[in-house]
Structure 1
């Protein structure tokens, strides 16, 4: 019976995602502008909701010790701001310096790759003309794009100004979400018919647990992976260790695909130094990913989400097609929510 329910849940989620994909393929040209508008509006709310989920257990802990929820949120804010200031004062100068050094080093990196291609062409293993031209054009384009990217990190004040409103709005949204979390939950339940409130209360609780487990667990895993990568790069004396480890930390948010994306910049930089450094960087990345896949993730996440890897990969492909990077990040938690909902629907149908 339990195996049949699991099979039905997997089939239900897969069918729902497949139907969504088909609809999006046909309707996307007509509704793309709606998605851009909705994304701009809901982005600060989604970010605030994630932060609220992370901080809510601490607020509940203080509230159980007779601290008012509003005061508990203020205490957490003050502690967080203090820790953030200390953290930034120590890391921002090093991050900016390494970003500038890497930006200045990019033309040299591209030139090194072009020399490799020239040497490769001079040997008997000749690449087809079309492939060679395509590779050279890609290298030239990547030089400009990469330089623009890092220059934008340092000098992109215009883009930062456009995002400033989010930085001011998000703390207020998080404050009211945490302060009135119980009131918001009760308000949502009031919209449900009285006879169904118990069922919906259980549903909301399971969704809350699934999201909370995923968000907190994933952030802890990313932080540990980034720290291990930085320690490994520091031990082998890899240049730009901090910024490369930060890239791995951020990309590791994306399951399965993220570690590959995050390791690519460090390997490319190592190739311009020496083959020995390249081998060491590959070993560090492999060691970190083996630890993450076999020890860190199972220990922290376990089997909390109960999602099959094929379903996760399908969700990532769909999320990446629809929402780009944002879609990749939120694909798995959305599927986790759908799994909980479909589980309740199937249980209801089986009982009746």
Structure 2
């Protein structure tokens, strides 16, 4: 018995729902696989470039992964012990910083209470100061928690390159298998869809990663010269948050500003000036030269995506919000296009 189009769509929808439910249930173990897919996606152009020059796939993979392992090992040996020491020191000093922050906020509170202000404005200021205190402490704890969480996921970080290697080794077979699952009449449209997603995402990932790396290096050097404590950790935080459009640079600079505020207002101004200069250099020189294809999203859509990602998954959600929004945009465009084509053909 042949199934009609309605039955096929119903079965497809059921399979999609079951798949979503399954992946939601096993979400705790998905991190290394998602990271592996991202690594494979970014490394594949290098592999294809060597293959085009006559290298066998396995030889190209061994060369590229060997090069990356060498670079990563050098970075790990050079910086990892210092970062661990800074994390340990930061964890011990967090209570002290919390007390200093409370004292600083109390000092601000006493200063504005000397001014004769209407009760309404005083109430608003009280609430704002209390919220600032709560949010700042929460931000410090969450930021250190994210870094410690990354360290605790070291097994996943080690597994991801291994999984990426096997993905790239058998990439052609995987492609053939996935294409065989698709109806022939849909393959052309899906190929166009994947091409659009690829052009949107690859330029974004490549550009953002390089820009964020350079911003992290500049921030670390600048904070070191200003003698800011935990400059290595803050440099890493700045680089990670720089991936987030609009809000990222502010969130990344906040820990440095808070720590500088415990020393002097002059140091706070110097830190703010440092990050202002870095952002001007990034926006005017680094980003235009490095950034490849744009994701093609309106700023309002990007801001909404960031807020939605932050609400759903916190900091990680903000980091992945823009690429996911770009994928959704292309999927919606494809679905609407297919619907219009089907209507025209009736």
The answer to whether the superposition gives a TM-score over 0.5 is yes
Aligned twin of 1:99? 87
Q: 1:63-101 CA distances to partner (integer Å, 9 max, x unpaired)?
A: 112222122222222222221111111112222333334
Decide whether the 8 Å contact of 2:102 with 2:133 is kept in 1. Answer: no
Structure 1 CA distance for aligned equivalents of residues 129 and 110 of structure 2? 18
Which of residues 54, 60, 70 is equivalent to 1:66? 54
The whole-number CA distance in structure 1 between the counterparts of 2:136 and 2:170 is 50
Which residue is 1:131 aligned to?
126
Residue 142 (1) aligns with residue 137 (2): yes
Among 300, 324, 328, the alignment partner of 1:338 is 328
Question: Normalising by the residue count of structure 2, what TM-score does the alignment of the two structures yield?
Answer: 0.78
Alpha-carbon spacing, 1:292–1:38, altered in 2? closer, same or farther (3 Å): farther
Quick one: higher RCO (CA 8 Å, sep 6+), 1 or 2?
A: 1
Q: Report the CA distance between 1:116 and its aligned residue.
A: 3.2
Q: Take 1:151 and 1:304, find their aligned partners in 2: how far apart are those partners?
A: 32
Query: Is the alpha carbon distance of 1:233 and 1:168 closer, same or farther for their aligned partners in structure 2, counting shifts above 3 Å?
Result: closer
Of 112, 124, 132, which residue of structure 1 is paired with 2:100?
A: 112
CA deviations 1:209-241 (Å, max 9, x no partner) are: 322222222111110111121222233333322
Q: Out of 230-239 and 255-264, give the one that drifted further.
A: 230-239
* Contact 1:98 1:243 (8 Å CA) reproduced: yes
How many Å apart are 1:52 and its aligned residue?
0.7
Paired position in structure 2 for 1:289: 279
Corresponding residue for residue 242 of structure 2: 252
Shift of 1:310: 0.6
- The 1:130–1:40 alpha-carbon spacing in structure 2 relative to 1, beyond 3 Å, is same
User: SS of 1:237's equivalent?
Assistant: coil
Name the structure 2 match of 1:4: none
CA distance in 1, matches of 2:106, 2:323: 47
Contact 1:222 1:252 (8 Å CA) reproduced = yes
Over the residues paired in the alignment, what is the CA RMSD in angstroms? 3.5
Can you give the 5+ residue segments of structure 1 that lack an aligned partner in the other structure? 1-31
CA contact (8 A) 1:110 1:139 kept: no
1:261 and 2:261 aligned: no
Higher mean Cα deviation, 130-139 or 103-112?
130-139
TM-score, scaled relative to structure 1: 0.76
Q: Secondary structure at the match of 2:228?
A: coil
Q: Do the aligned partners of 1:226 and 1:248 also contact (CA within 8 Å) in 2?
A: yes
Spell out the pairing of 1:1-352 with structure 2 (5 A cutoff): 37-123=25-111, 124-125=114-115, 131=126, 135=130, 138=133, 142=137, 146=140, 150=144, 160=152, 163=153, 165-301=155-291, 304-345=294-335, 349=340, 352=344
Distance 1:322 1:220 in 2: 27
| 8 A Cα contact 2:216 2:235, kept in partner | yes
Structure 2 CA distance, aligned partners of 1:66 and 1:153?
Answer: 42
Distance 1:294 1:141 in 2: 30
Q: Deviations over 1:17-71 (max 9, x none)?
A: xxxxxxxxxxxxxxx9977524224322211111111111111111112222122
SS of residue matched to 1:306: coil
